[in-house]
Amino acid sequence: MSILDIGCGPGTIIAGLSKIVVDGKITGLDVTDPIIERARSTFPMSEFPNLTFTVGNAMDLSEIKDNSFDVVHAHQVLVHLTDSVKALKEFYRICKPGGIVACREGNGRSVLSLKPDLSAIRQYWDNTIAPMDRNGAHIDARGHLEEWVRTAGFQKENIVLHMGELRFPSHAEGMKGEGAEQAIKSGIATRDQMNVWREAWEEFDRTEGHELVIENGEILCWKEPL
Ligand SMILES: C[S@@+](CC[C@H](N)C(=O)[O-])C[C@H]1O[C@@H](n2cnc3c(N)ncnc32)[C@H](O)[C@@H]1O
């Protein structure tokens, strides 16, 4: 079985799948070079021989032939794209007949629960989604999933949609070290802002029953066999 994880980020999900589908050809793809470098060093071929990582753009996968993968998977990726239908058309094209396209996408505008309800975390959240809005991405991707996959070519009877929730882990780690320095350098936040957010996330970590929950949707789409 061949699996492609589009927008694989640090590679955690696809590395897990590579351990389950040990005879498979498993690939992680992301648009960001340093992320792919990091994924390669975290999950080296010596320990993950069936797993490779590659740089590519979800909206233009022209280097991948038609009908190449049994499973095309994307987790919280469409939400970042300016043209999700274009990406899904590519997912459809590179998926084998009889194969599956699987996506999980949230609605960043819907904070269902935040415990403890700290204004600094709400401010951090608004700050995180604002550039996506400005860039024309669909922060509410969850609500568009069915319409998008239908436009991309999937038949209604070959689609299963499930609406649920997504629980975020703490973002405290991202508020320090290299990640924080890069965010400060690129103007995402000032050092003072970063310190306020770090303290808030640390308080989040210390709080019993902490949670940050948003709306989430999962869609499975079968491509018609030939
Ligand atoms: C929220 S992260 C999700 C990472 C991973 N799927 C996960 O759930 O752990 C979104 C990822 O999508 C990637 N991404 C954004 N735009 C992309 C594009 N046009 N093509 C491929 N990847 C993209 C980002 O670099 C980032 O790694």
Q: What value does the mean pLDDT of the chain take? A: 96
The answer to whether position 43 is within a domain reads: no
Q: Quote the pLDDT of residue 188.
A: 86
The answer to whether position 4 is within a domain reads: no
Q: What's the structural domain count of the chain?
A: 1
The answer to whether position 47 is within a domain reads: no
**Rounded distance from Cα 208 to ligand 1 centre (Å):** 30
Q: Quote the pLDDT of residue 156.
A: 97
| Sign of the CA dihedral with 157 first, then 57, 7, and 48 last | positive
**Rounded distance from Cα 53 to ligand 1 centre (Å):** 13
**How buried is 57 (Cβ within 10 angstroms: 0-12 exposed, 13-18 middle, 19+ buried)?**
middle
The answer to whether position 6 is within a domain reads: no
Answer whether residue 133 shows pLDDT above 90: no
**Which domain range does residue 136 map to?**
57-222
**Rounded distance from Cα 71 to ligand 1 centre (Å):** 17
> pLDDT tens digits for 138-169?
999 999 999 999 999 999 999 999 999 999 99
Q: Residue 67 — left, alpha, or beta (φ > 0 → left; ψ -120 to 50 → alpha)?
A: left
> pLDDT tens digits for 73-131?
999 999 999 999 999 999 999 999 999 999 999 999 999 999 999 999 999 999 999 98
Q: The whole model's pTM is what?
A: 0.94
Q: Which of the four pLDDT bands, split at 50, 70 and 90, describes residue 179?
A: confident
The answer to whether position 214 is within a domain reads: yes
Q: Whose CA is nearest to atom 26 of ligand 1?
A: 9
Q: Which of 179, 169, 175 is nearest to 197 (CA)?
A: 175
Question: Interior CA angle at 192 toward 191 and 196, to 5°?
Answer: 115
Q: Whose CA is nearest to atom 14 of ligand 1?
A: 7
**Is the CB of residue 6 less than 8 Å from the CB of residue 77?**
yes
> pLDDT tens digits for 22-65?
999 999 999 999 999 999 999 999 999 999 999 999 999 999 99
**Is the CB of residue 205 less than 8 Å from the CB of residue 170?**
yes
CATH of the domain at 163: 3.40.50.150
The answer to whether position 28 is within a domain reads: no
Mutate to test the pocket of ligand 1, among 17, 27, 31 (most ligand atoms within 8 A of CB): 31
Q: Whose CA is nearest to atom 4 of ligand 1?
A: 9
